[in-house]
A = this chain, B = another copy of it.
Amino acid sequence: MSKTNERRLTIARAMAEAVQQEMQLDPSVFVMGEDIGALGGVYGNTRGLLDEFGPQRIRDTPISETAFIGAAVGAAQDGMRPVVELMFVDFFGVCFDAIYNLMAKNNYFSGGSFKVPMVLMTSTGGGYSDAGQHSQCVYGTFAHLPGMKVVAPSNAYDAKGLMTAAMRDDSPVVYMYHKGLQGMGWLGTEAGATVHVPEESYTLEIGKAKVVRPGKDVTIVSLGMGVHNALKAAMRLEEQGVSAEVVDLVSLVPLDRDTIRASVAKTGRLIVVDEDYMSYGVSGEIIASVTEHDISVLKAAPKRVAFPDVPIPFARVMEQYCLPNPDKIVEAWSRMQAA
């Protein structure tokens, strides 16, 4: 299936390439985090950068997230453009003040006189039995608190464009990459995430959702790994003669409500797929965004396929039972028909 001139990269490589190209262009960009130097990032997204840029600009840190994320805020306010890594998003609790009370708010607190141009990149997601402190998405947690842009790529093309856009953005951007899409040797990777990536630098507009599959009977909205589940479900639904449109949110903040609403206005039905916990998160927000706008377009009650409100269990059978998957999406469609 691969075409000539195709340059298929994993998300990990696409991220590293974006950072590499931006660091070549802009001396104020640098990277900080745990194991991002010699190791190249646990999830491979800084591989090769230490060799090219050296330990001044590719800085391994102590296990001191409060200090080094706080330091990124201070450096960003002083003219630098730090890219800082929180190894697993699950660790946000040890350093969240630096994130949501400083990084997110200093632009506002200063009336815009201090800018905080930094990227916080962090890995999300489970599916490989890493249990309840290493498998979460907590998309909703980050998207709920104002002042941070929040993006989550589903494939390498978007990953590169979003990373470049994030580094060039004068506002803080949280960049959430899903481990199961990353293309690490030691972790299975969803094949659909590894796609053609142009060599030259480019940006993707932050705040725009993408219709990644057109359809007319139901809109399936998701992000990150969920997009691939949605696409697989859409193929299965197609076999049943159902035409599903799939919307990849790409960005949670700003949230592209127009694209979602336009899609549901067309299809009349909505399923939201989210690997984050179900309640008080992304799935609720998407449904509310549609229904508060116009309920007349809906032909059926919207449905959600999300992680139940339980910590993420270790045992594979339990974790897989909880995770969204194409079956559950198809089943949500069936429940919709039954209602």
Name A's B-contacting residues (CB within 8 A).
66, 90-101, 104-105, 108-109, 131-133, 138, 140-141, 143-147, 252-253, 255, 277, 279-285, 287-289, 291-295, 298, 300-304, 309-311, 313, 339
Inter-chain CA distance A271–B95, complex, in Å, is 35
The answer on a CB contact under 8 Å between A301 and B292 is yes
Q: Given that A91-B97, A97-B93, A295-B295 are known contacts, is A304 also in contact with B277, CB under 8 Å in the complex? A: no
Which residues from chain B contact A91 at a C-beta distance below 8 Å?
97
Q: Given that A93-B101, A291-B302, A311-B109 are known contacts, is A282 also in contact with B280, CB under 8 Å in the complex? A: yes
The answer on a CB contact under 8 Å between A292 and B288 is no
* Extra inter-chain contacts (8) besides given A284-B288, A291-B295, A292-B304, CB under 8 Å: A108-B310, A147-B311, A253-B279, A279-B285, A283-B288, A287-B288, A291-B291, A295-B295
Report the minimal beta-carbon distance from A221 to chain B, rounded to whole angstroms: 12
Inter-chain CA distance A295–B303, complex, in Å, is 11
The answer on a CB contact under 8 Å between A144 and B279 is yes
Inter-chain CA distance A293–B291, complex, in Å, is 12
Q: Could you list 7 examples of A-B contacts with CB < 8 Å?
A: A109-B311, A144-B144, A147-B310, A283-B288, A287-B292, A291-B291, A291-B301
Which residues from chain B contact A138 at a C-beta distance below 8 Å?
144-145
Inter-chain CA distance A144–B252, complex, in Å, is 16
A98 to B, closest residue via Cβ? B93
Inter-chain CA distance A201–B99, complex, in Å, is 41
Inter-chain CA distance A253–B310, complex, in Å, is 12
Identify which of B97, B108, B144, B288 contacts A288 (C-beta below 8 A). Answer: B288
Report the minimal beta-carbon distance from A91 to chain B, rounded to whole angstroms: 7
A99 to B, closest residue via Cβ? B93
Which residues from chain B contact A143 at a C-beta distance below 8 Å?
279-280
| Most chain B CB within a 10 A radius of its CB, from A283, A292, A302 | A292
Which residues from chain B contact A300 at a C-beta distance below 8 Å?
295
The answer on a CB contact under 8 Å between A144 and B101 is no
Inter-chain CA distance A67–B280, complex, in Å, is 28
The answer on a CB contact under 8 Å between A280 and B109 is no
The answer on a CB contact under 8 Å between A144 and B277 is yes
Which residues from chain B contact A146 at a C-beta distance below 8 Å?
277, 309-311
Report the minimal beta-carbon distance from A122 to chain B, rounded to whole angstroms: 14
Which residues from chain B contact A145 at a C-beta distance below 8 Å?
138, 141, 277
Inter-chain CA distance A132–B107, complex, in Å, is 12
Inter-chain CA distance A108–B288, complex, in Å, is 30
Which residues from chain B contact A131 at a C-beta distance below 8 Å?
109
Inter-chain CA distance A99–B141, complex, in Å, is 14
Which residues from chain B contact A101 at a C-beta distance below 8 Å?
90, 93, 132-133
The answer on a CB contact under 8 Å between A132 and B105 is yes
A143 to B, closest residue via Cβ? B280
A65 to B, closest residue via Cβ? B97
A285 to B, closest residue via Cβ? B284
The 5 closest A-B pairs by CB, nearest first: A93-B97, A93-B96, A284-B288, A287-B288, A144-B280
The answer on a CB contact under 8 Å between B311 and A104 is yes
Identify which of B144, B295, B301 contacts A301 (C-beta below 8 A). Answer: B295
Inter-chain CA distance A304–B293, complex, in Å, is 11
